[in-house]
Amino acid sequence: MTYQYYKNIFKGTPMPFAFVDMDVLDENIIQILKRAGSKPVRIATKSIRSTYLLEYILKSNARFRGLMCYRADEAVALCQKGFDDILMAYPIVHLQDIRNIAVEVKRGKKIVMMTDLPEHVDRIQRVAKELDVELPVCVDLNMSTRLYGKYFGIYRSSISNTGQLLSYIEKIKESSHVKLLAATGYEAQIAGMPDNLPGSWLRNILTAHLKRKSFKAILTRRKEMLNYINEQGVYLEYINGGSTGSLEYSIQDDNLTELAVGSGFYSPYLFDYYNDFRHLPAAWCAFELRHHPEKSIYTGEGEGYVSSGEVGKAKNPLPFLPEGIKVLKSEILGESQISFRYSGEVNLGIGDPIFMRYAKAGELCDFFSHLYLIRNGKIQKQVAISS
């Protein structure tokens, strides 16, 4: 990966633009399958944002099975484009959204809605009965833990133990048109916690310790809750877990029958700071240089392409090529233009690109209408970005 390689590929291409290096994507696909052991992998759509690339990854290996979607309209649109076997990542609570999904299920599509409250089941039952269709659901099990008196994880599911499962299972059993088909549990405190941050050795040691300790608790809790579900006479077709940042942990859990992966295919730069794995950057964007006000200072587009989450410089795009280029410490990406400091070997000029890596995977696509796909040093094609 050199600056000149990518500059030559995109000579004359209007900026800003986003692209995916298909040669790198192919390598990431191989490495993700290795990290997943022998388990099937469900693809998280919000990290890909392209139906062409979703289909490309699904066809690349038989172990890629199904999608994990984040909105009802997205799931319906993908079904209408020929995709199937979709697990919703979050509960769908608007009745019209549930109806839209129910229509697709009645057409023969498999869309499994996420639930953790009896109220979720009530809403789905109401629509399913109205349309005379059985709707499959997944129960979201809370994998967050309490360590040393602190809550370690995210606040999402209301089900953390077998006692809290009781009212949920009772609601499932009394619902004539709802079937509990799957279970999931996202280990956010493992998947989302970098443990190899530069200059933070003490924090890294503490994070690694908390991850190991939390995972032991997760193994015990998940097994107890799944056994309870089984004792209630409910057969689960699959049990989902894991993500890009936690595969090394998730493959140790024999209860999981499949894993979910999304961001690892593009490998945004936040994943550079994990001990257990390293993927190659496959998705990038490019900004145009417009000023050269002083020696070693260059100014170009900024646009405000900032990732979601906790506010801070870690959510800004990261200048990547030419190697050694940096955003001035006095500035932050988000203005209409931004200044860089560079004194390397590349002779930069007005109109040249600065290649940037994004902090998160699919969110790069929020700012563009299409992606360029490159392979073997050439632009292969353009593909539309799906919302």
pTM (predicted TM-score)? 0.91
Q: pLDDT, tens digit, for every residue of 27-76?
A: 999 999 999 999 999 999 999 999 999 999 999 999 999 999 999 999 99
Average pLDDT over residues 212-228: 89
How many Å apart are CA 211 and CA 20, to the nearest integer? Answer: 32
The dihedrals phi and psi of 82, each to the nearest 5 degrees, come to 105, -5
* 12: pLDDT strictly greater than 70: yes
**8 A C-beta contact, residue 18 and residue 372:** yes
Q: What's the pLDDT at 1?
A: 79
**8 A C-beta contact, residue 249 and residue 187:** yes
Looking from the CA of 66 toward its CB, the CA atoms found within 13 Å total 19
What token pair was written down for 16? Answer: 């800003």
Domains detected in the chain: 22-264 (3.20.20.10), 283-384 (2.40.37.20)
119 band by pLDDT with thresholds 50, 70 and 90: very high
How many Å apart are CA 110 and CA 139, to the nearest integer? Answer: 16
SS3 284: strand
CA 46 to chain CA centroid, nearest Å: 6
Q: pLDDT, tens digit, for every residue of 296-339?
A: 999 887 665 665 555 455 556 788 999 999 988 776 665 668 88
How many Å apart are CA 35 and CA 193, to the nearest integer? Answer: 18
Q: pLDDT, tens digit, for every residue of 93-116?
A: 999 999 999 999 999 999 999 999
Q: pLDDT, tens digit, for every residue of 262-275?
A: 999 999 988 888 88
Q: pLDDT, tens digit, for every residue of 349-368?
A: 999 999 999 887 888 888 88
Q: What's the pLDDT at 213?
A: 82
